[in-house]
Amino acid sequence: MLAIRRFEERVAQEVYAGNVPGFVHSYIGEEAIAAGVCLNLDRQDRIVSHHRGHGHCIAKGADMKKMMAEIYGKKTGYCKGKGGSMHIADFSIGMLGADGIVGAGLPIATGAALAAKLEGKGKIAAVFFGDGACQEGEFHETLNLASIWKLPLLFVCENNHYGVNTSAKYSLGAGEITRMPEAYHIATRSIDGNDVETVYQAAAEAVAQLRKGDGPYFLECKTYRWHKHFLSEGLEDLRPKEELEAWKRKCPISVFESRLIREKILTEGKAKRINARIMEMVEDAHDFALSSPYPLPEDALQDVYSA
């Protein structure tokens, strides 16, 4: 969680300084979900992410250096500078990529889940998406497909309650998101997505069921993003200020850290040391990105097709 937070803070700082091209969607505020879910996954389990995907990459074990380089559009990035912030992938760790079209990762994840089922080794797939994706047709198609094929697919709905500035209260006719997977006879739970222990335990139960081959599982994780839809001076944030402040008091990191200190599992000194080590990793990643070369213009012609 802390690694995601510090990474995202560094990225945001550089975006607002004008040093990063393109659109960056910050995961700050939602870290407990990626961390709590991915801790339950093996390297061979596959995940599919979305435009707000940095957290999922870090939680699945991606290399921060190659992530940062990609965000800067450098040749040493995960995608050689062809994808950027919204499209980081690392197939070697089962991170099948982040898709920038809302809801589009869902069908792709059904394929990864079907592959896991056909391989028959108890592997699973997990797909991260938001409340916005629940408004897309692909969402319903995927619930249906995963249900009738009993796919080992973990649906992780990061319900941050807004699509850009439009409230899900307005755009979701079903009211509660969980009513939709339930309608497709999918095991469903709604949890506090800001409490990493809750997420971890719920994901552990879900993953155990998935590995048994009992069919898909749907976890709705309620959360909130602290930044605007994407990092931009120009973009308005029309969400109520008091709502954001209330959710900030439920910060997944500080709440968990306080609990650990209160329960004497962690000391303040140790917390500081962990933080310092993470800061160092993030700085190393940033230095790596800055010192890396840009791709050659004509590198644009490579990778359109595979050999």
Partner 1 sequence: MREITYEQAATEAIQEEFRRNPRTVHMSTDLAADLQQEFGPDRIRVTPIAENSFVGASIGLAGAGFRTVSNLRMATFGFVAMDQMMNHAAKITYMFGGQAKFPVLYRMTVGAGFSGAAEHSISPYSMFMNVPGLKIILPTTPYDVKGLLKTALRDNNPVISFEHFLLGGMKGEVPEQEYLIPFGKACIRRKGSDVTIVALAKMVYSALDAAEELAARGISAEVIDPRTLVPFDREAVIKSVKKTGRLVVVDEACQTCGAAAEIIAMVTSDKGAFRKLKAAPARVCGLDIPIPFSPPLEKFAIPDAEKIVKATRGVMR
Q: Do 72 and 118 form a contact (C-beta atoms < 8 A)?
A: no
Which CB sits closer to partner 1, 26 or 110?
110
Cβ(4)–Cβ(68) under 8 Å? no
Q: Which of residues 20-79 bind partner 1 (CB under 8 A)?
A: 46, 48, 77-79
How many residues touch partner 1 under the rule CB under 8 A: the total is: 45
| Residue closer to partner 1, measured from CB, 250 or 295 | 295
Question: Is the CA virtual torsion 30, 32, 38, 40 positive or negative?
Answer: negative
Nearest approach, Cβ of residue 112 and partner 1 (Å): 4
CB of 252 to partner 1, least distance (A): 29
Q: Which residues contact 250 (CB under 8 A, 6 or more apart)?
A: 194, 224
Q: Which of 144, 132, 61, 133 is nearest to 104 (CA)?
A: 133
Q: Smaller CB distance to partner 1: residue 176 or 303?
A: 303
The sign of the torsion formed by the CA atoms of 251, 255, 256, 258 equals positive
Residues 70-89 that bind partner 1 (CB under 8 A): 77-83, 87, 89
User: Measured from the CB atom, is 82 or 189 closer to partner 1?
Assistant: 82
Site for partner 1 in 122-151 (CB under 8 A): 125, 137-138, 141-142, 144-145, 148-149
**CA proximity to 208, closest of 38, 32, 47, 40:** 40
Enumerate the β-bridge partners of residue 153.
125
- Stretch of 27-35, 104-112, 193-201, 245-253 contacting partner 1, by CB under 8 A: 104-112
User: Which tokens in the block code for residue 144?
Assistant: 């249906």
Provide the binding-site residues for partner 1, judged by CB under 8 A: 46, 48, 77-83, 87, 89-91, 96-97, 99, 101, 104, 106-116, 118, 125, 137-138, 141-142, 144-145, 148-149, 302-307
